[in-house]
Amino acid sequence: MAGRLRIISISPSFWFRYVLNVVDGIDALNSHTGEPTMNRIVIFITCSVLALSAFAAEPKAPASDYKPKLDKDGWEILFNGKDLDAFDVPTNGSWVVTDAGELHVVKVGKNLYTKKRYCDFIVECDFKLAGHAKANSGVLLRVHNQADPVNTGMEIQILDNEDHGVAFDAHNACGALYDMVPPAVPAVNPIGEWNHYKITVNDNIVQVELNGKAIVDADLNKWTTPHQNPNGQKNKYPHAIGDLPREGFLGLQNHGGTPVWFRNVRIKPLGDRQPKYTGTEPIKDVLSKPEAALGK
């Protein structure tokens, strides 16, 4: 496994011990004044405030401050092997950039979401899985609410089919539009090798190519009933997928910390539509047919 970037941190308790030592030194120098106790109090309070200020979490840069990196062909580079400026990165170290310039899930944590919301686009990425690790992940599309990606967005599955005992054409197989459309043909490379996704999301159309093979072609307008696919098969979703907002965050899934690697992540917006929501709105308020989701 490639090496990881290491971040060295100093705990607040260390700083407070350091402050006390400094205060003791100053107090000793000033002991001839006869008022060392007052000096200690004033100095300790001042240094404590400075230490707490230093450890205050830096606020996340708002999406409006994010400046996309564009290549000559108009692709927005989401991950270039160096930084994660395009994403809101979980703070627990669950996502790391390896020395090889790969984005790697190393432990349980939150999904990785873009700072921006997107409407219509092509997204491409390479991914690789570790064998015998129940590897599981996904590319999350048009997620409205980051706290509820399952019910407010869509997922293109990433899975070690063999390790999970899943056939290539199952609704949860690698490459599936999860629980909606199974892959049409087998297209996954052997475990340990890189795979390439090209995912097109354009208004009501979702198309997936895996390693150059077309495996999914879905018309979201056909999903008109909660918990049901167009062929009558049940799915897990409480809202008709066709009624979800046709915009949202792009995400990479951390599924229980199972190991997955990504590289060459980029997105190309299609058309002129711009997002009109923030993701804070209740999902029932942004459905195109809210009465269907409410069972009216």
pLDDT digits (tens, 9 = 90+) for 36-46: 555 554 444 55
Strands 87-88 and 76-79 turn out to be: unpaired
Q: Do 167 and 174 meet the contact criterion of CB atoms below 8 Å apart?
A: no
Cα dihedral 154, 159, 165, 169, rounded to 10, equals 60
Give the count of alpha carbons within 13 A of 257, CB side only. 7
Which residue bears the tokens 């090798």? 193
Which residue bears the tokens 């190991």? 259
Q: Do 75 and 267 meet the contact criterion of CB atoms below 8 Å apart?
A: yes
Q: Which residue has the higher pLDDT, 53 or 63?
A: 63
Q: Angle between the 12-29 and 36-55 helix axes, to the nearest 10 degrees?
A: 150
> Any idea where the domains of the chain sit in the sequence?
12-55, 63-293
Phi, psi of 164 (to 5 degrees): -95, 0
Phi-psi region of 83 (alpha: psi -120 to 50; beta: other; left: phi over 0): beta
Q: Who's near 92: CB < 8 A, 6+ residues apart? A: 107, 109, 110
pLDDT at residue number 290: 54
β-pair partners for 217: 207
Among candidates 136, 182, 178, which has minimal Cα distance to 160?
136
pLDDT digits (tens, 9 = 90+) for 123-173: 999 999 999 999 999 999 999 999 999 999 999 999 999 999 999 999 999
Q: How many angstroms separate the CA atoms of 251 and 140, rounded?
A: 5
Q: Do 133 and 153 meet the contact criterion of CB atoms below 8 Å apart?
A: no
pLDDT at residue number 8: 36
pLDDT digits (tens, 9 = 90+) for 249-267: 999 999 999 999 999 999 9
Report the CATH architecture of 63-293: Sandwich (2.60)
pLDDT digits (tens, 9 = 90+) for 170-215: 999 999 999 999 999 999 999 999 999 999 999 999 999 999 999 9
Q: How many angstroms separate the CA atoms of 106 and 90, rounded?
A: 12
Tokens of 193: 């090798």
Find the DSSP H helices in 32-169.
36-55, 149-152, 161-164
Q: How many angstroms separate the CA atoms of 164 and 161, rounded?
A: 5
pLDDT digits (tens, 9 = 90+) for 105-114: 999 999 999 9
Q: How confident is the model at residue 59 (pLDDT cuts 50, 70, 90)?
A: very low
